[in-house]
Amino acid sequence: MVCSGYWLGCGIALAFVLDPVTGTAEALSHATADFGMALEECRGESGLTKETMDEFKIFWSEDFEVVHRELGCALICMSNKLALMHDDARMHHTNMHDYILSFPEGELLSKKMVQMIHTCEKQYDDIEDDCSRVVKVAACFKVMAKEDGIAPEVTMIEAVLEKYN
């Protein structure tokens, strides 16, 4: 949560000390930017259209609806490239935890994010189709992250992506 061209800058260090929620949003913006680097690679493999891929750049905006099955397939592909899922397309808790810890302020987000994703996975565990289940989990996580105040602003993600590019 994600495509080349968008995500966070520096200069907010003091704010993170004063506001842990901002720190988690920073960590999530770094993770989203890094995770999204695999999107182009996974586009063909997942059947994701160019239009949906372009929209994916604004994953965290209110305007982006997480509904396309192909997006779930792309998320699986991207997660597999980073070893974040088991073979059954469910989150690898340890690898996800370590992945989030690798980003600035990751220690503020890692446990919370793993717990949120796990909660969403349990909610949709009965969906047999991996791509359909993963897109539902992603939508659930997006809602939970926004409700919890840890979702990054698109402008944060854009600034981070500029650092990666």
**106-117 confidence digits (pLDDT tens):** 888 899 999 999
User: Which range has highest mean pLDDT (14-23, 80-89, 97-106)?
Assistant: 80-89
Cβ count near 128 (within 10 Å): 7
Rounded CA separation 51/163 (Å): 25
Provide mean pLDDT across the span 83-104.
93
What is the average pLDDT score of the chain? 77
Helix (H) or strand (E) holding 81: helix 69-81
CATH topology for the 13-164 domain: Recoverin; domain 1 (1.10.238)
Indicate whether 86 pLDDT > 60: yes
Sketch the domain layout of the chain as residue ranges.
Answer: 13-164
pLDDT tier for residue 163 given thresholds of 50, 70 and 90? low
Q: What is the pTM of this model?
A: 0.76
pLDDT single digits (tens) 10-38: 222 222 333 344 457 777 776 777 776 77
The strand pairing partners of 91, in sequence order, are 85
Residues 6 or more apart whose CB falls under 8 angstroms from that of 13 comprise none
pLDDT tens sequence across 47-77: 777 777 766 667 778 877 888 898 899 899 9
Is residue 113 a contact partner of residue 100, using CB atoms and an 8 Å limit? Answer: yes
The CA distance from 158 to 30, in Å, is 10
Residue of 130 and 65 predicted with greater confidence: 130
